[in-house]
Copies of this chain bind each other. A is one copy, B any other.
Amino acid sequence: MPLAPLFRPIDVAPAYQKVADAIEREIVNGRIKPGDPIGTEHDLVRQFGVNRSTIREGIRVLEEGGLIRRDSSRRLHACLPRYSKLASRLSRALVLHEVTFRELYEASMTLEVASIEGAVERASEENVAELADNLSRSEAVVGDPAALAECDAEFHVLVAKASQNRVLQLAREPAAQLFYPTTEMIVTGVVEGGPRLVAAHRHLIDAIRRRDREAGVLWTRRHLQDWRRGFEKIASLDRSVEHMYMEHAQAARRR
């Protein structure tokens, strides 16, 4: 018979973790605002009363979490975590969990449709201008699969941004990051892939301009179905996302 639970586990976090938690608390509580300087390592040594090595381990944790950064002169600042950096963590996790392209496709269908709906409803002049700019750059590189794939990724980031919904923006990013490398393969492999992609973007911008929700959803669906058809010419949707795709995400994270 197991013993009755008389005692609770004691909280024995190592010192570096406590340092990280303490600083994190100040940031998420808002007592330290994004942009505010954290002291130097030596300051923190004095304040926490632990060794510099310990402080440094705590700092690494926060740095990796995106809560603090070092500016050009390597001084520590609190900062707003950047979506693309956080999302690349998630992309990495999805790869390791060996999610299939089908899961990616299905989730993206939902997320991209939601994005365009938001964009159609709420896009600002500036959002539309950014999208138009992206379109003209896409048209210029329609023959260059790598450049076009990059434009495509940016286009959808801009659509999500135009939705004015940052939760959605963040939620769609991990899946989108995994899409990006495949787009290049598909545009390369499918004749007419490039022009169709650009045409879809044109229709999408048009739909946003006219605030035509139906058209927006329709063209988003078509755009993704095009991707799917192209992909299925190369591989099965039930294949899991492969490790090699991570290279892109890793490069993106470092920026």
Task: Tell me whether B66 and A60 are in contact (CB under 8 A).
Answer: no
Which residues of B are found within 8 Å of A8, using beta-carbon distances?
Answer: none
A56 within 8 A of B: yes
- List residues 70-113 of chain A with CB under 8 A from any CB of chain B: 80-81, 83, 86, 89-90, 92-97, 99, 103-104, 106-108, 110-111
* A87 → chain B closest CB, angstroms: 8
Say whether, besides A65-B64, A168-B106, A92 and B81 are in contact (CB < 8 Å).
yes
Distance in Å: Cβ of A95 to nearest Cβ of chain B: 6
Residue of B nearest to A33 (CB): B96
Taking a contact as CB atoms closer than 8 A, the residue among B60, B63, B93 that contacts A170 in the complex is B93
Chain B residues within 8 Å of A168, by CB: 103, 106-107, 110
The complex places the Cα of A92 from the Cα of B25 at a distance, in Å, of: 11
**Closest partner residue, chain B, to A31 (CB atom):** B243
Known: A16-B60, A167-B175, A171-B111. A93 touches B106 (CB 8 A): no
A181: CB under 8 A from chain B? no
Asked, given contacts A81-B92, A89-B65, whether A166 binds B103 with beta carbons under 8 Å apart, the answer is yes
Complex partner residue of A165 from B53, B92, B103, CB under 8 angstroms: B103
Q: Is A139 an interface residue (CB 8 A)?
A: no
Q: Are A90 and B86 in contact (CB under 8 A)?
A: yes
Copies in the complex: 2
Q: Are B29 and A94 in touch, CB under 8 angstroms?
A: no
A232-255 contacts to B (CB < 8 Å): 243-244, 246, 250
A89-B66 in contact (CB<8A): yes
List 21 A–B pairs whose Cβ atoms lie within 8 Å, in order of A's numbering: A27-B96, A28-B250, A29-B244, A61-B61, A65-B89, A66-B89, A81-B92, A81-B96, A83-B93, A86-B93, A90-B170, A93-B170, A94-B167, A94-B170, A97-B166, A103-B165, A106-B167, A107-B165, A107-B171, A110-B110, A167-B175
Closest 10 CB pairs of A and B: A107-B167, A81-B93, A110-B114, A60-B60, A64-B64, A171-B171, A28-B246, A107-B168, A103-B167, A103-B165
**Which residues on A are within 8 Å of B, measured CB to CB?**
16, 21, 24-25, 27-30, 34, 53, 56-57, 60-61, 63-67, 80-81, 83, 86, 89-90, 92-97, 99, 103-104, 106-108, 110-111, 114, 118, 164-168, 170-172, 174-175, 243-244, 246, 250
